[in-house]
Each structure stands twice: as structure tokens, then as C-alpha cells.
Structure 1
Amino acid sequence: MTDRDPDDTTPSSPSSPSSPSSPSSPPPYGQDPHGSPYPPPAYPPQGQGYGQGYGQGYGQPYYPQGQPLPGQAATMHPQANTALVLGIVSLAGGMICGLPLLAGPFAWFTGRKAKREIEAAPQHYTGASEAGAGMVLGIVSTVLLALGLLAGVLVVGLLVVGVSTA
């Protein structure tokens, strides 16, 4: 007879490696291999369905889409400064030589578009004041452009009428 050590876990008779009594086989599916008394965390997070956004899998905190992550600041809208620069160039340059007034409608359009996008997603973008200022400068320079064109048409009309009467 052989003496068996009580701590020896090797079976005395051959058994299949997939038997549940074998210490080398994994536990059945869904059970914790370490014997934790706590249930595993739910997947996906409670209250959310599948497809809630990239990276929202097991163990990840849930952040609603359309909002910046914690610690992430909103950025300046890329067209807000463009509208402001176009408005300044059109108004200041228009006072010097008149030709830059043609940039006024572009400043108005760009400022309006940027301001709408900022108001639609204030958590993503800043720069509403720059876009608004560019839009106002664009409106002013567009009005000056229209008045200048109207004055030019009147001058040409008066010259044509004056030449034809002479």
C-alpha cells in the first residue's frame, strides 16, 4: 500500500482532463474563477443599451454623446476668427480704398454660420462673440457696399442724362 499525502491533489486513477473535479480545468462558464461572492458587473452599464458610443464597453464609464469628456474644454469654432478677420478687413480696408468692402458679405455669411453652429453645440465650441462681431462688421460693410454701388449707379445715371441733354 502507498501512503498518500492529504495535500496531494493528483488523482489515483486516470480521469479525463475535462472533468469538473480536476483542479486544472476552468470553472463552468459564468462563474468567477477566484470564487468571489459578488456578481460580475453588468454589461453594458445599467440603463444603457448596446451601441452607446465607441469605448462604452465593459468597465468603461458612460458619457453621453455630444458632450465633452470631463476635463476637456470646449474649443474655439474654426470659423469664428475667420469671420472676425473678414469683417475687420472689409470695413477697415473699405474705408481706405473701397475694394475690400467686397469681403463684407462673406464675413456676414461666415459669422452667421459659425454663430448658429456654436449655439447648436455650446458644449463643444466657444467664440460666439467673435463670430457675432464678424457678422456685425460684415453687415455694416455690406450696407456700405450697397450704398456705394447705389451712389455709383446714380452718378453714372446722372452723367448719362447730362451727356444726352447736351
Structure 2
Amino acid sequence: MSYGTPPPGGGYGQQPYGAPAPQHPSATTALILGILSFVLCGPFTGVPAYFVGKRAEREIAASNGTLSGDGMAKAGWILGLVSIILTVLSLIALVVIVIVVAVASSSNA
């Protein structure tokens, strides 16, 4: 049983017009730095992730659709910001603990 020749283009539907916009290279960098800020390096990669991601997001918005990757840039700077906030909160908690221990040890002496 033969079904005839397949439709042109392989039968997968109409392909979108034109090529997709190239991805901004800094968007990938920001995402990688943001992930590394959680996994390994904390503020050492969190701060650059924030600034690289914000810059890439601005450049993508200014490109009027000629660049893509805004989601990765946004994820990168958000991960960097969360990493910075967690680092600051950890440092504040460490200072509070040191002060509490110092006060407790001086009152027992």
C-alpha cells in the first residue's frame, strides 16, 4: 500500500521565516557565573554574575530583537543577587554570633 509522495519540506509544518536571533554571549556567561555562585564560589562569582547579567539584559533590550538570551541574562543576575544577599546575611549572622559569644563569656568570667 502506497501513500504517495510526502509533502514538500518533510511534512513538519511551515518553518519560521528567517533565522533566529543570535544569542548574546554575555547572557551565557552571566548564567554560568550565577550557577557557580551557588555551587562553589559565593560572592566571588555572584557579584560578576549580577553586573554581567544586568549589562547583557540592557544590551539585548536595546538590540530591538536582533539579540536573544534575555532569559539567561535575567536568571544569571538574579542568581548573583540571591548569592550576594545570602552572603551578606551569613556575615551578619556570624557577627551576631561572635558578639553573643563574647558577651556570654565576659559575663561568666
How far apart are the structure 1 equivalents of 2:81 and 2:56? 15
Distance 2:63 2:73 in 1: 14
Higher RCO (C-alpha under 8 Å, 6+ residues apart): 2
1:87 partner letter: G
Q: Offset of 1:73 from its aligned partner?
A: 5.1
Tell me the secondary structure at the aligned position of residue 125 of structure 1: coil
Deviation at 1:164, TM superposition (A): 2.4
Corresponding residue for residue 105 of structure 1? 47
Mapped to 2, the partners of 1:72 and 1:92 lie a distance apart of 35
| TM-score (normalizing by structure 2) | 0.72
| TM-score normalised by the chain length of structure 1 | 0.49
Measure, in 2, the Cα distance between the counterparts of 1:150 and 1:106: 22
Query: Identity percentage over the alignment?
Result: 42
Q: Which residue of 2 aligns with 1:83?
A: 30
How many residues are matched? 90
Once the two structures are superposed, the pairs formed by residues 13-162 of structure 1 within 5 Å of their partners are 74-93=21-40, 100-102=41-43, 103-162=45-104
Aligned to 1:123, the other structure's residue is in SS state coil
Q: Which amino acid aligns with 1:86?
A: L
Report the Cα distance in structure 1 between the residues aligned to 2:63 and 2:85, rounded to whole angstroms: 30
Greater C-alpha Rg:
1
Q: CA offsets per residue over residues 28-61 of structure 1, 9 Å max, x none?
A: xxxxxxxxxxxxxxxxxxxxxxxxxxxxxxxxxx
Q: Deviations over 1:5-39 (max 9, x none)?
A: xxxxxxxxxxxxxxxxxxxxxxxxxxxxxxxxxxx
Which consecutive residues of structure 2, in runs of 5 or more, have no partner in the other structure? 1-17
Offset of residue 124 of structure 1: 2.7
Question: Could you say which structure has the higher helix fraction?
Answer: 2
